Structures are given as structure tokens and as C-alpha cells.
Amino acid sequence: MAPPTVKRPPSAAHEIKDLRRRLAVLRREHAGLLAAARAAVGAYYDGEPEPLAPVIDALDELRALPEYLPRLTGAAEAELAGAGPLVGRRLA
């Protein structure tokens, strides 16, 4: 039987490097969400039919969209009746 290995705590330098990497990821994600929010406001002001599309796309990239069940109108259900099962997280 092999002797148990002793796990050493990470060094301060390693911990700082990891925290800097994680901070860079958070900053990039924040910048993307801020850009999406600004685009959504601009789309709303311009009267776009789907002003939240940039925010939805940004959240989808981060895998942070809330789960939901699509609600289809009767006409849409009739149109999709022979198409088979729907696949994906959202309809666009």
C-alpha cells in the first residue's frame, strides 16, 4: 500500500495568480453584459421589436439564462405539428 500523499496548501503567489485570472474573467463577463444592456436600451429607444435580444444572447453565452417552457400560440403549434420535437433553449 502506497503511503498517503500530503497535499500542500497553494503558495501565496499561486493564489494571487488564480485570483487575478478569475478577476479578469469577471471583468470580461461584466463588460459583455454592460455592452448588451446598452445595446438593449438603444434597441428599445429605436423601437426594435425584440430589444432584449442582446441581453438574452449575452446571458446565453454565459449559460445564465433562466430555464423556461416555451409558450406557443395555437397558430404556432399548428405550424409545428409535423415538425417533430423542439430542441434548444429558446426560440428565435
Give the pLDDT confidence of 13-71 residue by residue, as tens digits: 999 999 999 999 999 999 999 999 999 999 999 999 999 999 999 999 999 988 877 67
Residue 92 has pLDDT above 60, yes or no: no
CA distance 21 to 24: 5
More confident residue, 56 or 89: 56
pTM of the model: 0.62
Q: How far is the CA of 56 from the CAs of 40, 49, 53, 62, 87, in angstroms?
A: 10, 14, 5, 10, 17
What are the sequence ranges of the domains in the chain? 18-65
